[in-house]
Chain A
Amino acid sequence: TQLLEQSPQFLSIQEGENLTVYCNSSSVFSSLQWYRQEPGEGPVLLVTVVTGGEVKKLKRLTFQFGDARKDSSLHITAAQPGDTGLYLCAGADSNYQLIWGAGTKLIIKP
């Protein structure tokens, strides 16, 4: 059974600080995605990484896919209150099914 472990489960930091969220597995994925979800809404896709070692940037967010395609990280620079939310990673298997992490609840205090 493929599993994705996210860490930390919960993170509360001050505005302006940097942070990194991790998504780890013992399985290899065809691709890995990051989503952000606000309370009472559906998750919104932020990025998809496909190639081992790939790095993608979305404004202050930097996403990296591990060389072996088993893990990924999300780094936020100078966090802002608008970054608050639940961050979910999801790995895709060869049948295009997604394996979901349990999420990291992020709170940015002004």
Chain B
Amino acid sequence: SQTIHQWPATLVQPVGSPLSLECTVEGTSNPNLYWYRQAAGRGLQLLFYSVGIGQISSEVPQNLSASRPQDRQFILSSKKLLLSDSGFYLCAWSKSRSYEQYFGPGTRLTVT
């Protein structure tokens, strides 16, 4: 069966510090991978998605970036965090050409 991991679970970082969130998927090959941000109790904002190694599409201009160095690894980064980067970050995967997405447990990021 497939599983998806995210870490860390929670993170408190000062403004201006760098960020690296990691997501890995097990039990499947060549998944589509997604990074979302969610405001408290609200819907999901798609940040980045990837259909393959090194292939990243950005949905929202911001100071975040994403990379996919391996087939089942997806990384969300920032060089300098802003207060507005605080939120709940979710990684998801789907099979190629599938509607259904499966989510990781999320990372709660607080920028102070």
| Residues of A that sit less than 8 Å from B by CB | 6, 30-31, 33, 40-45, 48, 86, 88, 90, 92, 96-98, 100-103, 105
* Residues of A close to B92: CB separation below 8 A: 42
- Return B28 CB to nearest CB of chain A, in Å: 15
5 contacts across the A-B interface (CB closer than 8 A): A31-B99, A41-B106, A42-B90, A44-B103, A98-B46
Contact of A96 among B46, B98, B104 (CB under 8 A): B98
- Return A43 CB to nearest CB of chain B, in Å: 5
Nearest neighbor of A102 in chain B, beta-carbon distance: B43
Closest 9 CB pairs of A and B: A42-B103, A92-B99, A102-B43, A100-B43, A100-B44, A31-B99, A103-B43, A43-B103, A42-B106
Known contacts: A42-B104, A42-B105, A42-B106. The answer to whether A102 contacts B42 by CB under 8 A is: yes
Chain A binding surface, main DSSP class = strand
Of A31, A43, A102, the most chain B CB neighbours within 10 A belong to: A43
- Return B92 CB to nearest CB of chain A, in Å: 7
Known contacts: A42-B90, A42-B92, A42-B104. The answer to whether A86 contacts B97 by CB under 8 A is: no
- Return B68 CB to nearest CB of chain A, in Å: 17
Say whether B41 contacts A96, CB under 8 Å: no
Nearest neighbor of B101 in chain A, beta-carbon distance: A98
A104→B92 CA distance, assembly (Å) = 21
- Return B73 CB to nearest CB of chain A, in Å: 18
Say whether B99 contacts A41, CB under 8 Å: no
Say whether B105 contacts A41, CB under 8 Å: yes
- Return A103 CB to nearest CB of chain B, in Å: 5
Of B32, B42, B43, B45, the most chain A CB neighbours within 10 A belong to: B43
Nearest neighbor of B95 in chain A, beta-carbon distance: A96
